[in-house]
Amino acid sequence: MSTLRRRVTVAVDHGVHARPVAELVRLAEAHGAPVLLSTSEGESVDLSSVLAVMDLAIASGDEVTLEVADSPHAQSLLDALSAVLDPA
């Protein structure tokens, strides 16, 4: 199965803290398929774990990559996840 990827520069004030992480996990769980979040340093976590995402300590200005299995709703999921990370 193919995957879709999107790079996003984080523009959330104070970085990816509890509130944005909870929203990312909620969106990923609603999708029902694994969603990976990778840092530019090569660390990857599944968005099903709040603690795993928090452990990445993603700061504002960091670049991350989102990866999701291709499906009819994958593009809209990437749009929603990107909007959490870069609300501008």
Domains of the chain, each with CATH number or no CATH:
3-85 (3.30.1340.10)
For residues 48 and 80, give the distance between their C-alpha atoms in angstroms, rounded to a whole number.
16
Unique residue bearing structure tokens 């993603």: 58
Instruction: Tell me what pLDDT residue 13 has.
Output: 87
Determine the pLDDT at residue 14.
86
The predicted pLDDT at position 65 comes to: 98
pTM: 0.93
Q: To which residue do tokens 């990437």 refer?
A: 78
∠ Cα 9 13 16 (to 5°): 65
Residuewise pLDDT in 10s, the chain (88 residues): 699 999 999 999 888 999 999 999 999 999 888 999 999 999 999 999 999 999 999 999 999 999 999 989 999 999 999 999 999 8
Instruction: Say what the pLDDT of residue 59 is.
Output: 96
